[in-house]
Structure 1
Amino acid sequence: MSGLGVSPRLSVRGSRARILVIFLVISALVFGMDFQAAANTQNPYVVGNDRGGYLHDRLIELENLQRNRVLVEIRGRVCFSTCTMFLGLPGTCVDAETIFGFHGPSRTGRKLPKKDFDYFSRVMADYYPEPLKSWFMNKARNRISGVYKVKGAELIRMGISPCREV
Structure 2
Amino acid sequence: MPWKCFIARAAGLALCLAVAATPVPSLAQAVPAQTVVVENDRGGLLAERLREIARLRQSGARVEIRGRVCLSSCTMYLAVPDICVDPDVTFGFHGPSSYGRPLSPAHFENWSQIMASHYPETLRRWFLSVARYRTSGYYRVSGAQLISMGTPRC
Instruction: Tell me, yes or no, whether TM beats 0.5.
Output: yes
Q: Does 2:132 match 1:141?
A: yes
Mark the structure with the bigger radius of gyration.
Answer: 1
Cross-structure match for 1:105: 96
**Greater percentage in strand:** 2
Which of the numbers 122, 126, 129 marks the counterpart of 2:113?
Answer: 122
CA distance in 2, matches of 1:46, 1:69: 14
Residue by residue over 1:78-116, the C-alpha shift from the partner in whole angstroms, topping out at 9 and shown as x without a partner, is 000000001111121111110000001110001100111
How many aligned residue pairs are there? 147
**Residue of structure 1 equivalent to 2:21:** 23
For the aligned residue pairs, the C-alpha RMSD in angstroms reads 1.6
- Whole-Å separation in 1 of the counterparts to 2:151 and 2:29: 25
Which residue of the partner structure matches residue 28 of structure 2? 33
For 2:42 and 2:60, the matched residues in 1 are separated by 24
Matches within 5 A, 1:29-68: 30=26, 32-36=27-31, 39-40=32-33, 43-68=34-59
Q: Which runs of 5+ in 2 are unaligned?
A: 1-8
After TM superposition, give the deviation of residue 19 of structure 1 in Å. 2.0
Deviations 1:39-60 (CA, angstroms, capped at 9, x unpaired)? 22xx411001000000111011
Q: CA deviation at 1:76?
A: 1.4
Aligned identity (percent) is 45
2:60·2:82 contact (CA, 8 Å) conserved in 1?
Answer: no
**CA shift at 1:27, angstroms?**
1.2
What secondary structure does 2:135 align onto?
Answer: coil
The TM-score with structure 1 as length reference comes to 0.83
Q: TM-score, normalised by structure 2?
A: 0.89
Structure 1 runs, 4 residues or longer, greater than 6 Å off: none
Which amino acid is 1:34 matched to?
Q
Where 1:161 maps in the other structure, the secondary structure is coil
Residue type at the aligned position of 1:108 = Y
In structure 2, give the amino acid aligned to 1:33. A
